[in-house]
Amino acid sequence: MRGVAWLRLALVLVGLGISAYLTAVHYHGAPLYCRTHGIVDCEQVVTSPESVVLGLPLALWGVVWFVLAGVLAWPREPWEERVRSWRRLWAAVGALAVVYFVYLEFVVIGHVCLWCSAVHLIVLVLLALEVAPAAA
């Protein structure tokens, strides 16, 4: 497996871990480890009404997104070209969601979650890996 493929899988696993942690915070009251200072306030973000879509927390949607991203990230030699197209599309969908979530944090909620920001960064890096010439 090439270095880019390993990096892609590692990023997916980290994003999946953060999303699962935030899902546990939502459903099970797990402690939310986030230092609050000024605009940074994870609790305000993850407990806001905007953190739930169609009755499910955004973190759970993140788990679903990263699981599918992980399935797509696993290399399959005969179908690699087709899978690459699906990875690009899925990464673009994730990036569009990130733009909306950042809007919600800054404009609607008025606070930023560092955990969420880490997930946003991971999604954007995954998109960059898909559109960069070296990833092809």
Query: pLDDT digit string (tens) for 37-87?
Result: 889 999 999 999 999 999 999 999 999 999 999 999 886 677 777 788 899
In the chain, how many domains are there? 1
State which residues form the domain around 7: 3-135
Beta bridge partners of 112: 40
Q: Are 135 and 4 in contact (CB under 8 A)?
A: yes
Residue 136 has pLDDT above 60, yes or no: no
Give residue 129's pLDDT.
Answer: 92
Domain with 74 in it: what CATH number? 1.20.1440.130
* Portion of the chain with pLDDT greater than 70, in percent: 94
Helical residues (DSSP H) of 1-136, grouped into ranges: 3-28, 42-46, 58-73, 80-103, 114-131
Give residue 134's pLDDT.
Answer: 56
| pTM of this structure | 0.90
Q: Are 67 and 59 in contact (CB under 8 A)?
A: no
Give residue 35's pLDDT.
Answer: 81
